[in-house]
């Protein structure tokens, strides 16, 4: 590990810490000014951003990345428009910094107030998702945090171009350019250095595959908010409407199969399997989904003329991130809940049913960050929640769980006002 690289990363962290002091007390109007400038810059830089993205896509194709992985890398004019819209939406959201959470007066006259404050400096480690560069930057800025971004080598040119726009927006508004910094190297050693800089960085949020997240958690001396993987289930209950079940399951699996909230597992109640599975299987197969099933689902779909192959045991716990779906027939709602809590990742799980009692039981008993009734797992998303964007979807249980928006990027502190009290 070179001393130059260590100096580079340490310097970034030190400057981020200094910028965080300024951001913590920055007026809302000034933060929003940066965001509006950034949205405008994204809109006027489409040609340059797509050109940078084309370099990364060319390399991805040469390196044999799967279609779903390339889709995650890809920017289009429509996606850039949505990205700019998300920036404007965050600008319109209430500023969480300074919000009073609780306030009370003690018998001795001390007035105590608990209020929301920024975490400080947040390091975001991510792989092939260019929107993460913007999403994390805008959420950190609006919540008063400095951000250090460490993107994957697969999207380096795109990230560099996006980071330049962020710097331009900060500078034009008179805010410290060091409030958002991209580590300007693909050297993996830079990540190892960053993870040890707990004197300057207060939180690490990794976004990517399970291997990356486990590496970060194992090597960081800084607290880590984790999202290990998205082994997401859709359960078609005995009382599921056939048309609704088909619509939800096809959307959850195929709308964007390479993302963490895409469905990877389908459970069907035994009482409805003969009624539901043939149409579900045919609809999924028509979208190019490869089905892997247990004995019961294989028998039903084979009779219906739908291609399916027997699943291996590991298929029932796998995040495929591709057009592959594992299928099981379960004997009851209780069995479905048990399978999800045992084999899932606590990310996003849905039930399709017209039976409210069954739905309420599912919502109460499934132990996941987001549980849905008659809706696609794809709705576990900060933009869809009205957060404007998200910095990640946490499957942790401490500090934050589910989509992380502005409030989840804050801590709190207590302010105490006295009139001369001393403790006896």
C-alpha 160/C-alpha 162 separation (Å) is 6
Domain carrying residue 368 = 232-379
Q: What is the pTM of this model?
A: 0.83
Question: Are residues 348 and 216 part of one domain?
Answer: no
Asked if the structure places residue 268 within a domain, the reply is yes
Query: Sorting pLDDT into bands at 50, 70 and 90, what band is 388?
Result: confident
Question: Are residues 211 and 151 part of one domain?
Answer: yes
User: What is the total count of domains within the chain?
Assistant: 2
Q: What is the pLDDT of residues 75-88, one digit of tens each?
A: 999 999 999 999 99
Asked if the structure places residue 260 within a domain, the reply is yes
Q: What is the pLDDT of residues 232-283, one digit of tens each?
A: 999 999 999 999 999 999 999 999 998 899 999 999 999 999 999 999 999 9
Joined tokens for residue 335 = 């069995």
Strands 290-293 and 309-310, by their bridges, are parallel
Question: Are residues 197 and 48 part of one domain?
Answer: yes
Question: Are residues 249 and 221 part of one domain?
Answer: no
Query: Sorting pLDDT into bands at 50, 70 and 90, what band is 226?
Result: confident
- Mean pLDDT for 156-162 is 96
Asked if the structure places residue 196 within a domain, the reply is yes
Q: What is the pLDDT of residues 99-133, one digit of tens each?
A: 999 999 999 999 999 999 999 999 999 987 888 89
Per-position DSSP letters for 37-93, written without gaps between them: HHHHHHHH-HHHHHHHHHHHHHHHHHTT--HHHHHHH---HHHHHHHHHHHHHHHHS
Question: Are residues 335 and 204 part of one domain?
Answer: no
pLDDT exceeds cutoff 90 at 390: no
Per-position DSSP letters for 79-130, written without gaps between them: HHHHHHHHHHHHHHSPP-TT-EEEEEE-TTS-EEEEEEEE--EEEEEE-S-H
Check which CATH number belongs to the domain holding 250 and give it: 3.40.309.10
Asked if the structure places residue 403 within a domain, the reply is no
Coil, strand or helix at 48: helix
Question: Are residues 260 and 154 part of one domain?
Answer: no
Joined tokens for residue 269 = 């109640």
Residue 1 is predicted with a pLDDT of 59
Question: Are residues 221 and 108 part of one domain?
Answer: yes
Domain end call among 205, 228, 251: 228
Query: Sorting pLDDT into bands at 50, 70 and 90, what band is 134?
Result: very high
Question: Are residues 170 and 241 part of one domain?
Answer: no
Domain end call among 228, 250, 280: 228
Question: Are residues 202 and 120 part of one domain?
Answer: yes
Check which CATH number belongs to the domain holding 130 and give it: 3.40.605.10
Asked if the structure places residue 108 within a domain, the reply is yes
Question: Are residues 239 and 113 part of one domain?
Answer: no
Asked if the structure places residue 299 within a domain, the reply is yes
Question: Are residues 321 and 236 part of one domain?
Answer: yes
Question: Are residues 257 and 184 part of one domain?
Answer: no
Asked if the structure places residue 392 within a domain, the reply is no
């Amino acid at each position: 590990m070179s001393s130059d690289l260590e100096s580079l990363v340490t310097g970034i962290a030190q400057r981020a810490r200094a910028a965080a002091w300024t951001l913590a007390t920055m007026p809302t109007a000034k933060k929003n000014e940066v965001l509006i400038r950034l949205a405008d810059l994204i809109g006027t830089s489409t040609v340059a951003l797509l050109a940078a993205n084309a370099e990364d896509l060319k390399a991805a194709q040469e390196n044999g990345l799967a279609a779903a992985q390339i889709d995650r890398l890809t920017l289009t004019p429509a996606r850039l428009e949505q990205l700019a819209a998300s920036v404007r939406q965050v600008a319109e959201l209430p500023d969480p910094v300074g919000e009073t959470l609780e306030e009370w007066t003690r018998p001795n006259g001390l007035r105590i107030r608990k209020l929301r404050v920024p975490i400080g400096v947040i390091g975001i480690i991510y792989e092939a998702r260019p929107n993460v560069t913007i999403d994390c930057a805008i959420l950190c800025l609006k919540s008063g945090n400095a951000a250090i971004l460490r993107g994957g080598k697969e999207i380096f040119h795109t990230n560099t171009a996006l980071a330049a726009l962020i710097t331009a927006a900060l500078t034009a508004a008179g805010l410290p350019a060091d409030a958002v910094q991209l580590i300007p190297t693909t050297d993996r050693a830079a990540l190892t250095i960053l993870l040890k800089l707990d004197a300057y960085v207060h939180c690490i949020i990794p976004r990517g595959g399970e291997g990356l997240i486990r590496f970060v958690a194992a090597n960081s001396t800084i607290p880590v908010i984790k999202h290990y993987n998205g082994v997401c289930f859709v359960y078609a209950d005995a009382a599921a409407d056939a048309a609704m079940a088909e619509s939800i399951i096809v959307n959850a699996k195929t709308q964007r199969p390479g993302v963490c909230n895409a469905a990877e597992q389908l459970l069907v109640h035994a009482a409805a399997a003969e009624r539901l599975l043939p149409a579900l299987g045919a609809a999924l197969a028509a979208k190019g989904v490869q089905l892997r099933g247990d004995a019961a689902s294989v028998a039903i779909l084979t009779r219906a003329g739908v291609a399916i192959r027997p699943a291996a045991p590991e298929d029932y716990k796998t995040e495929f991130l591709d057009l592959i779906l594992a299928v099981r027939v379960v004997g009851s709602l209780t069995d479905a809940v048990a399978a999800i809590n045992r084999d899932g990742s606590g990310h996003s799980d849905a039930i399709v049913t017209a039976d409210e009692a069954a739905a309420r039981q599912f919502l109460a008993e499934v132990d996941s960050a987001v549980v849905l009734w008659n809706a696609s797992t794809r709705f576990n998303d900060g933009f869809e929640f009205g957060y404007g964007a998200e910095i990640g979807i946490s499957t942790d249980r401490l500090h934050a769980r589910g989509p992380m928006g502005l409030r989840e990027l804050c801590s709190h502190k207590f302010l105490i006002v006295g009139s001369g009290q001393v403790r006896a």
